[in-house]
């Protein structure tokens, strides 16, 4: 086995971008069926196709060995993966050695009450919680599940456990547009940053998604009518642009894959729960890492596959502002790649 050392080749793509952030999906399953993410009757993958916890650990560790500093566990809903805490505790060894700066996860919050203390104990310092409405009926309609109270309780538990919580909100023209200012105020009052996300054309979800598309440029104009928004220089290495809201004191992020392309500084790749490495959320270019993991106990084949992937990382994604009735830019569901 190789150990982390300076002679390990770092992950640099053809455009000189250094990849130091990996998102790993632990499962395609979820306990919600959000209208912009899944269809109501999703079929899930057979278990044998999913990477085992051991394989997930090996994969993450290979990336850390090659200079990845940020790991984010996603899904589906990562807290639905059986044994998730064993994986988190295992990966926390890389935080202890200093090889990893940050181990985080994105969750819908439904099971946070149960896991918050364990996550904090394992060295997770911050999490992202997806939350699209504070209105019980609206939440139930968007998520196809009446569990808002559990999510809010989970967020409280996370804050009590000392985790920093960032709220992710998908802006939906018909469902939560009017509520966005109140959501932002609520998050900021609770000491949480909030990031707004434009709907993305991923996977057939049975809704006509172009109807729900809400340009964040227009949201920002509207908010600016009664709040002072100051641009912040920081980028979390991700696609979000941040502003400070003077009146709430909080930070607000905008992720606008359609109206603003942010690919030039892209430092990330994603691995699905079946071990497929996607170099870009909006492209189909992918490399299978499951086969090399399963074919060999050492990481030679795995490293070669990762090199192949880096070489194919596209310069930018292919999202276009949605046209009514158009096929999604990418046919796979967000829940497979990991949101």
Number of domains in the chain: 1
**Tokens coding 125:** 């310092």
> What is the band of 323 on the pLDDT scale with cuts at 50, 70, 90?
very low
Greatest Cα pair distance, the chain, in angstroms, is: 59
Percentage with pLDDT > 70 across the chain: 84
pLDDT digits (tens, 9 = 90+) for 100-131: 999 999 999 999 999 999 999 999 999 999 99
Which pLDDT does position 236 carry in this prediction? 59
1 falls within a domain: no
Please give the mean pLDDT across all residues of the chain. 87
Task: Report the pLDDT averaged over residues 17-25.
Answer: 93
- Which of these, 163, 9, 3, lies nearest to 88 by C-alpha position? 163
**Three-state DSSP class for 83?**
coil
Count of positions (residues) in the chain: 339
Tell whether 118 is covered by a domain. Answer: yes
Q: Is the predicted pLDDT of residue 325 greater than 50, yes or no?
A: no
* The predicted structure's pLDDT at residue 270: 92
pLDDT of residue 231: 94
256 is written with which tokens? Answer: 């606008």
User: Cα 36 from chain centroid?
Assistant: 15
- Rounded to whole angstroms, the Cα distance separating 328 from 318 reads 11
User: Does residue 14 lie in a domain region?
Assistant: no
Pair of tokens at residue 173 = 């023209």
pLDDT for residue 310 is more than 60: yes
210-239 burial, b at 16+ Cβ within 10 Å, e below that, comes to eebbbebeebbeebeeebebeeeeeeeebb
Task: State the average pLDDT over residues 141-147.
Answer: 96
Domain membership of residue 131 (yes or no) is yes
What number is the average pLDDT over the span 241-268? 84
Q: What share of the chain is helix, strand, coil (3-state, %, to 5)?
A: 35, 20, 50
- Which pLDDT belongs to residue 61? 98
**CA–CA distance, 122 with 67 (Å, rounded to integer):** 21
Q: Is the pLDDT of residue 280 over 90?
A: no
Residues 203-227 pLDDT 10s: 554 555 457 788 898 999 999 999 9
Q: How would residue 202 be classed by pLDDT, with cut points 50, 70 and 90?
A: low
Residue 26: closest CA among 83, 110, 93, 64: 83
What's the whole-number mean pLDDT along residues 279-288? 78
Tally of CA atoms within 13 A in the half-sphere of 4 that contains its CB: 17
Structural domain contains residue 13: no
Tokens at 126, concatenated: 């911050």
The alpha carbons of the chain give a radius of gyration, in whole angstroms, of 19
pLDDT of residue 272: 95
Q: Mean pLDDT across the stretch 257-282?
A: 79
Nearest to 85 by CA among 60, 115, 128: 115
- Peptide bond just before 113 cis, omega within 30 deg: no
pLDDT at 13 over 90: no
Residue 5, pLDDT above cutoff 80: no
Q: Does residue 11 lie in a domain region? A: no
Looking up tokens 């912040």 gives 232
3-class secondary structure, 173: coil
Q: How confident is the model at residue 206, as a pLDDT? A: 54
Q: Which residue has the higher pLDDT, 140 or 325?
A: 140
* CA dihedral of 227, 230, 232, 233, whole degrees rounded to 10: 160
CA torsion 164→115→109→157, rounded to 10°?
-60
For residue 206, being part of any structural domain is answered with yes
- Give the mean model confidence (pLDDT) for residues 285-308: 93
Handedness of CA 104, 71, 183, 200 (dihedral sign): negative
∠33-34-35 over CA atoms, to 5°? Answer: 110
Q: What is the pLDDT of residue 337?
A: 58
pLDDT band at 254 (very low <50, low <70, confident <90, very high): very high
> Which residue range forms the structural domain that includes residue 142?
21-337
Tell me the CATH number at 78: 3.20.20.70
240 or 306, greater pLDDT: 306
151-201 per-position pLDDT tens digit = 999 999 999 999 999 999 999 998 999 999 999 999 999 999 999 998 865
Query: Taking a C-beta distance cutoff of 8 angstroms, is the pair 133, 176 a contact?
Result: yes
Half-sphere exposure of 229 (CA within 13 A, CB side): 19
Q: Which stretch of 54-63, 67-76, 321-330 has the lowest confidence by average pLDDT? A: 321-330
CA-to-CA distance for 258 and 99, rounded, in angstroms?
34
Q: Is residue 15 part of a domain?
A: no
Statement: residue 331 has pLDDT above 60: no
Helix locations, the chain, DSSP H:
53-65, 84-91, 93-96, 112-121, 136-143, 148-160, 180-189, 209-212, 216-224, 290-295, 300-311, 334-337
């Amino acid at each position: 086995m190789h150990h982390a050392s300076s002679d390990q080749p770092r992950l640099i793509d053809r455009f000189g971008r250094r990849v130091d952030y990996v998102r790993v999906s632990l499962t395609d399953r979820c306990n919600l069926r959000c209208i912009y993410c899944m269809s109501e009757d999703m079929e899930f993958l057979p278990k044998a196709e999913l990477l085992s916890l051991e394989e997930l650990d090996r994969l993450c560790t290979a990336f850390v060995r090659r200079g990845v500093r940020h790991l984010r566990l996603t899904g589906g809903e990562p807290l639905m993966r059986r044994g998730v805490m064993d994986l988190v505790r295992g990966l926390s060894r890389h935080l202890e050695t200093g090889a990893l700066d940050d181990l985080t996860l994105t969750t819908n919050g439904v099971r946070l009450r149960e896991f918050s203390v364990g996550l904090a104990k394992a060295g997770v310092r911050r999490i992202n919680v997806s939350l699209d409405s504070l209105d019980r009926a609206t939440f139930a309609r968007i998520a196809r599940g009446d569990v808002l109270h559990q999510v809010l309780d989970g967020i409280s538990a996370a804050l009590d456990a000392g985790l920093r919580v960032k709220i992710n909100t998908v802006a939906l023209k018909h469902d939560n547009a009017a509520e966005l200012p109140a959501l932002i105020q609520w998050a900021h009052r609770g000491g949480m940053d909030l990031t707004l996300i434009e709907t993305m054309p991923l996977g057939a979800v049975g809704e006509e998604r172009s109807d729900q598309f809400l340009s964040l440029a227009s949201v920002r104009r509207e908010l600016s009518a009664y709040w002072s928004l100051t641009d912040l220089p920081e980028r979390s290495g991700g696609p979000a642009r941040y502003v400070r809201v003077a009146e709430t004191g909080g930070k607000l992020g905008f992720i606008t894959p359609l109206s603003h392309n942010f690919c030039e500084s892209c430092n990330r790749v994603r691995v699905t729960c079946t071990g497929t490495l996607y170099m870009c959320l909006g492209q189909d270019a992918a490399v299978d890492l499951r086969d090399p993991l399963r074919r060999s106990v050492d990481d030679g084949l795995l490293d070669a596959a990762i090199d192949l992937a880096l070489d194919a990382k596209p310069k930018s994604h292919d999202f276009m502002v949605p046209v009514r009735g158009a096929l999604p830019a990418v046919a796979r569901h967000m829940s497979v790649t990991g949101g």
